[in-house]
Homo-oligomer: A and B are copies of this chain.
């Protein structure tokens, strides 16, 4: 009897729904890239590159992005409140401005120690600060009672899907390509993912006909379609929806009586046009047509992980509910209670994000300078990368509009497709693995997000500093095309 077979748990008897979940963002390529990084760290000189470029994950501070000084100064006081016994030293010798100290004191007065559990749905005063932000952003009131703080947006998505999906037959409309959190969570929950395709020819916009078709097909198979997920700005696509597109989704949700789950974590990463929040557009539509949209249920998510904040390691986030039944909200409260509360220091960081220094306040100037610097840096790198893709044979990519990603189509020669098959990989996986082996650049194959049959893509962030790596990519592509031509 082998030791495996005598174990209680083995691959064949554990939760099949966990096994069915796919999560390529941290899959084989990511693991291989970490192996390479460790090799290089140990002084290995056998590899054809000196650095691993992690362009596979939207992890800004792993790369070039520096944290915003105001945020981190406040957090340092929250962690060591004894610093408040030396305000003069903080101000005169350590570059802390009075508004940093004031904010830290205010947060401590509201949250207590960051080492203590908060209320299950988050510190009330922080939820109020979020409500104030939403009111400023959208021009419509928000209520802290409808806000739930979470450990990053991922944990919020997990909570919402747990409530919405009643059984295997509950269907959730999920965009393809999509961030695999949705499909993976639905697999684990054993609910039904109803994929709908985004329109690559319209800059990965939302195509209502395509959603409608997916919804109707699922319904005709008896699926109880309950909710439509929208990621705006798009991950992995980099799209940014127009107000018209947002209105179209809300109208569709009304007609089909679907909950809208709006993943808006990239709301400040917008390079073309402006961001249109689902909450803001919904409130406008409700005002324009009294009564018509009153029964829309919307959950919108945000986090500290992306944007110019980029603090994903802090796992801070929240979701706001609009139009939800009180009894359903009570179950959401109970559900989040089971894991007690979101990290309190992350909650404080959410507060800082939604309520940054204002013009005229002591920390404003530096804050503005850092914020704009990050924004412009991202935009420049997005543009440089996009230009590089334009130079690459068979690669097509819409202009960078939002989020932290480009998601170009690639075309690979038939010989490469054959080679991929031999290795048991899809052609895009093969391409990305060869790219990693040759250059140390780690990207994610499009198949990890879903793509239309017969098309190939890759997702890359544009967070890595410099442009040298972009040139490496251009060179690799040329060699690859030549090799398999």
Identify the A interface with B (CB < 8 A): 3-4, 6-11, 13-16, 18-19, 21, 23, 25-26, 34, 57, 59-62, 67, 69, 72-73, 75-83, 86, 89, 93-95, 112-120, 151-152, 154-155, 158, 162-167, 181, 184-185, 188, 226-227, 257-259, 294-295, 297, 310-315, 323-325, 327-328, 331, 334-335, 337-346
Give the 5 A-B residue pairs with the shortest CB-CB distance, closest first: A76-B80, A313-B344, A61-B113, A11-B327, A61-B116
Alpha-carbon distance A312/B181, docked complex (angstroms): 27
Q: Which of chain B's residues have a CB closer than 8 A to the CB of A313?
A: 113-118, 341, 343-345
A220 to chain B, nearest CB (A): 19
Q: A86-B94, A314-B345 are in contact. Are A327 and B10 (CB under 8 A)?
A: yes
Using CB atoms, name the residue of chain B closest to A63: B116
Interface pair A314/B115, CB less than 8 Å apart: yes
Using CB atoms, name the residue of chain B closest to A330: B11
Interface pair A328/B163, CB less than 8 Å apart: no
Interface pair A165/B344, CB less than 8 Å apart: no
Q: A325-B4, A339-B158 are in contact. Are A95 and B113 (CB under 8 A)?
A: no
Which of B15, B75, B335, B345 is A21 in contact with, Cβ under 8 Å? B335
Which of B13, B76, B113 is A67 in contact with, Cβ under 8 Å? B113
| Given A75-B79, A184-B338, 20 additional A-B pairs, CB 8 A | A7-B325, A15-B163, A21-B334, A23-B338, A61-B115, A67-B115, A76-B76, A79-B345, A83-B94, A89-B89, A93-B93, A115-B312, A116-B312, A116-B313, A117-B313, A154-B339, A154-B340, A313-B343, A313-B344, A343-B346
Interface pair B62/A116, CB less than 8 Å apart: yes
Using CB atoms, name the residue of chain B closest to A295: B6
Which of B72, B93, B315, B331 is A18 in contact with, Cβ under 8 Å? B331
Alpha-carbon distance A91/B365, docked complex (angstroms): 30
Which of B3, B13, B118 is A295 in contact with, Cβ under 8 Å? B3
Using CB atoms, name the residue of chain B closest to A332: B18
Q: Which of chain B's residues have a CB closer than 8 A to the CB of A78?
A: 79
Which of B11, B89, B184 is A328 in contact with, Cβ under 8 Å? B11
Alpha-carbon distance A294/B4, docked complex (angstroms): 11
Interface pair B117/A59, CB less than 8 Å apart: yes
Q: How many copies does the complex hold?
A: 2
Interface pair A18/B80, CB less than 8 Å apart: no
Using CB atoms, name the residue of chain B closest to A159: B18
Interface pair A114/B314, CB less than 8 Å apart: yes
Chain A to chain B contacts (Cβ below 8 Å), 5 pairs = A7-B297, A15-B164, A15-B166, A16-B166, A75-B80
A159 to chain B, nearest CB (A): 9
Q: A113-B67, A119-B34 are in contact. Are A9 and B311 (CB under 8 A)?
A: no
Alpha-carbon distance A119/B35, docked complex (angstroms): 12
Q: Which of chain B's residues have a CB closer than 8 A to the CB of A185?
A: 338
A441 to chain B, nearest CB (A): 18
Alpha-carbon distance A319/B415, docked complex (angstroms): 46
A391 to chain B, nearest CB (A): 31
Q: A19-B331, A343-B313 are in contact. Are A9 and B226 (CB under 8 A)?
A: yes
Interface pair B117/A8, CB less than 8 Å apart: no
Q: Which of chain B's residues have a CB closer than 8 A to the CB of A69?
A: 82
Interface pair B297/A151, CB less than 8 Å apart: no
A155 to chain B, nearest CB (A): 6
Q: Which of chain B's residues have a CB closer than 8 A to the CB of A323?
A: 7
Q: Which of chain B's residues have a CB closer than 8 A to the CB of A67?
A: 113, 115
Residue among A155, A313, A325 facing the most chain B CB atoms (10 A cut-off): A313
Q: Which of chain B's residues have a CB closer than 8 A to the CB of A227?
A: 8
Q: Which of chain B's residues have a CB closer than 8 A to the CB of A62?
A: 112-113, 116-117
Using CB atoms, name the residue of chain B closest to A62: B116
Q: Which of chain B's residues have a CB closer than 8 A to the CB of A226?
A: 8-9
A343 to chain B, nearest CB (A): 4
A342 to chain B, nearest CB (A): 8
Interface pair A18/B335, CB less than 8 Å apart: yes
Interface pair B297/A9, CB less than 8 Å apart: yes
Alpha-carbon distance A69/B19, docked complex (angstroms): 43
Interface pair A337/B15, CB less than 8 Å apart: no
Alpha-carbon distance A60/B112, docked complex (angstroms): 12
Using CB atoms, name the residue of chain B closest to A313: B344
